[in-house]
Amino acid sequence: MLIIGPPGSGKGTQAERISERLGVVAISTGDIFRANVKGETPLGLEAKKYIDNGDFVPDSVTNKMVRDRLREADVEHGFLLDGYPRTTAQVDELDDILAEADAKLDVVVQLTADDEELVARLLGRALETGRSDDNEGVIRHRLDLYHEQTEAVVARYAERGILSRVDGIGGIDEVTERVMGAIKEAQGA
């Protein structure tokens, strides 16, 4: 499955909780990039400038990273991708990867929240975690990219009839229950 949402929607938090409940591995492209930046790997050095500016890492780089990650053995029983795909070119790539593996997506969950709530949450998080991309200018740019590019991704999955929209405003447990409910509903449908 996929979890898609704007920056600050809590998708990373929910992805971890949901993956535990479902017993599948959670794969966050943002976390993989940050680990590479921290480890100063060639991928991290390449990605850092984009991340710090709130830009997307180029599709060619991101697609290759995801393709490699999805070859690992732990995805065999399913996976939850958090933060990918974010562009329609990434949707095409994921379609290819899944077709080659004879696999298909069960459900795509979109977490929703309005922009002002998201900015407030991210500015709050900036005080706690000091993520290099959590300052107001960069936050607004990440939100703009979400609207410009990732909403088209969401629309693609809506057309395919596998999208579930979940309200991301509320307590962490409450939102987890909503996501679990959406997954169960999608599986029953």
Give contact residues for ligand ADP (rule: CB under 6 A).
Answer: 7, 29-30, 33, 50-51, 54-57, 62, 83-84, 86, 90, 133, 142
Decide whether 4 or 163 has the Cβ nearer to ligand ADP. Answer: 4
Q: Is 125 a catalytic residue?
A: yes
The string over 166-188, giving b where at least 16 C-beta atoms fall within 10 Å of a residue's C-beta and e elsewhere, is bebeeeeeebbebbbebbeebee
Decide whether 130 or 187 has the Cβ nearer to ligand ADP. Answer: 130
Decide whether 147 or 184 has the Cβ nearer to ligand ADP. Answer: 147
CB of 131 to ligand ADP, least distance (A): 8
Q: What does R_g of the chain's alpha carbons equal in angstroms?
A: 16
- When CB distances to ligand ADP are compared, the closest residue is 30
From the candidates 11, 34, 69, 121, which is the catalytic residue?
A: 11
Separation between Cα atoms, residue 84 and residue 45, nearest integer Å = 20
From the candidates 131, 140, 156, 165, which is the catalytic residue?
A: 131
> Catalytic amino acids?
11, 86, 125, 131, 142
